[in-house]
Amino acid sequence: MHKRIVIVEDNLLIQELHKHYLTNLGHKVVGCFEKGNDVINFFNEGNEADLILMDIRLEDDIDGIQAMEEIQKSITIPVVYVSANSDDSNYARAVSTNMKAFLSKPLSSEDLEAALKSLSSLTDSILYAEKIQKSLYPQVDEINGYFHKNIYINRPKDIITGDFCFFHKQEETDEIIGGIADCTGHGIPGALLSILSSHIITTICIQKNNLTEIIETLDFELKKSLSRGKNTYQLTDSLDLVIFKIKAEQSEIEISGLKRILIYYSFENKTNTVIYLNEKKSKNNTAIINNTMDIASPLITIKFHENDIFYFFSDGITDQFGGPNDKKLMRTRLLEFFDSDINNHDLKSKQLNLNLFLRRWQGRLEQTDDMILLGINPSSFANNNKKSS
């Protein structure tokens, strides 16, 4: 699919070369700029594009990453960065924008073509669907409102995602219910299932407080929703789920789910531990949605302390191919990362380190699946709750 592309590059010769590459690949260049403020004004005036090809070092007082942060306050648009400086500090800043690739100069036509292929499904309707998802699912500001100590990474394989997180504060108690869910597939099918699942989970959490009952009701409601066409349109898609409840007064966290694992960092013991939430598979190889739910969801309760951290994540993280031998990351290497960073108690710094670790592991390989990771410090919710009560 041909795209409308904006080029931001302060070297006019390189700008012309990139324009030549893109035109030969069949795309339309709708704007060329040397300064960050100029491209910001271009989009503030209501102009549109499908992609920005952005240099990082520019002519004026802001760089390409700062320009993208400003642009994305008013419009959702992906960016491919092109830079002669690919050090960790730039990379760490770039991953917080809607970055689809980070390419090094000198850029070849083949490198550019490979990056653009990953955006072949990009359309206006997909971009609008992304806005809908962001309006439905908790974003960074809301998560920070619940937990001032947290890590949140959400990297869809495509523009829209089948992974999501959710929260429900119990108004009459000192408790919060939350979790992450991973729907079958990615792209449009995963996104449709995620919106349905998110709506059902939100409704159930308003009515119920018991995690086991929430999962059982979710299973029933999903099966009912996906079986309206009886045998003709009946679906057997699956949803993997980790759900937790924090009881602030008791300093306890309850966790339940199926086919998932989590990592628990105990500050007192200075250890990271993998906790398995029953990975045994049902008859139909699905976790939540299946004809007969013949495995019970486990329920564990842990007394948390001041600096304990719980990491919940989808298998898109551990199934990502990469590294020196193009193998899956696996839970072992993820645990090794957290062990290597165990003395770092600044979760925002840890999030940057984790983002860099995941990007380095993936390298130039395509992203395998949607990725979501939520790390929470339960005592930061408990402390917030005590202050507000």
pLDDT band at 353 (very low <50, low <70, confident <90, very high): very high
Q: Where are the domains of the chain?
A: 4-122, 137-388
pLDDT of residue 293: 33
| Separation CA 21–CA 110 (nearest Å) | 9
**Going by CATH, does the domain composed of 137-388 fall within 3.60.40.10?**
yes
Task: Indicate whether 73 pLDDT > 90.
Answer: no
Nearest to 267 by CA among 115, 377, 156, 149: 377
The pair of structure tokens assigned to 173 is 């108690």
What is the pLDDT at residue 124? 58
Identify the three-state secondary structure at position 324.
coil
Measured between alpha carbons, how far is 85 from 249 in angstroms, rounded to an integer? 50
Out of 19-28, 223-232, 264-273, pick the least confident.
223-232
- Mean pLDDT, rounded, for 248-268: 91
How far is Cα 50 from Cα 37, in angstroms, rounded to an integer?
A: 19
Q: Which of 20, 16, 18, 23 is nearest to 2 (CA)?
A: 23
DSSP conformational letter for 267: T
The 10 Å Cβ neighbour count of residue 306 is 13
d(CA 81, CA 292): 48
pLDDT of residue 291: 29
Could you give the maximum distance between any two Cα atoms of the chain, in Å? 65
Q: Which of 171, 249, 177, 256 is nearest to 209 (CA)?
A: 177
* Cis peptide preceding 106, ω within 30 of 0: yes
Q: What is the pLDDT of residue 283?
A: 35
- Mean pLDDT along residues 80-106: 78
Position 348: which residue type?
K
Two structure tokens written together for 2: 């041909």
Range of weakest confidence among 73-82, 208-217, 332-341, 379-388:
379-388
| CATH class given for the domain over 4-122 | alpha beta
Higher pLDDT, 22 or 121: 22
CB contact set of 314 (below 8 Å; sequence gap of 6+): 163, 180, 182, 240, 369, 370, 371, 372, 373
pLDDT at position 297 is 60
Query: H or E element: which one contains 65?
Result: helix 64-71
* pTM of the predicted model as reported, rounded to 2 decimal places: 0.71
Provide the percentage of residues in the chain whose pLDDT is more than 90: 50
> To the nearest whole percent, how much of the chain has pLDDT over 70?
86
pLDDT reading at 280 higher than 60? no
Q: What is the per-residue pLDDT across 323-350, written as a single tens digit (0 to 9) for each?
A: 999 999 999 999 999 999 999 999 999 9
Answer yes or no: is pLDDT of 233 > 60. Answer: no
